[in-house]
Amino acid sequence: MDTIATIRHSRPELSGQALRPSGQRGFVGSIVRVIRSLARWIDHLLERRRSRLALLEMTDDQLKDIGISRCDAHREAIRPFWE
């Protein structure tokens, strides 16, 4: 471990604050944007699944009001969430 610590600290331009201002902010910002985008995508998939399952809870009259048959509602509800 001492050798690794010595090598890491022996080059002052690579230690401490030298890389943080320009290098990490952009990289961390990119990671944050990717994670947020992934969270929005997952939220969208879950919302789609919830709305499909809500069709199964509707009465025949409610389905008729929106122009969907019981068979269509069942077919839509059993679709995978990624479709």
Is the CB of residue 73 less than 8 Å from the CB of residue 51?
no
Which sequence spans correspond to the domains of the chain? 16-77
Please give the pLDDT value at position 82: 78
The residue type of 33 is R
Mean pLDDT for back-to-back runs of 10 residues, the chain (83 residues)? 54 50 72 96 94 93 94 92 79
Please write down the HEC assignment for all residues of 13-39.
HHCHHHCHHHHHHHHHHHHHHHHHHHH
Q: How many CB atoms lie within 10 A of CB 73?
A: 20
pTM for the predicted model, two decimal places: 0.58
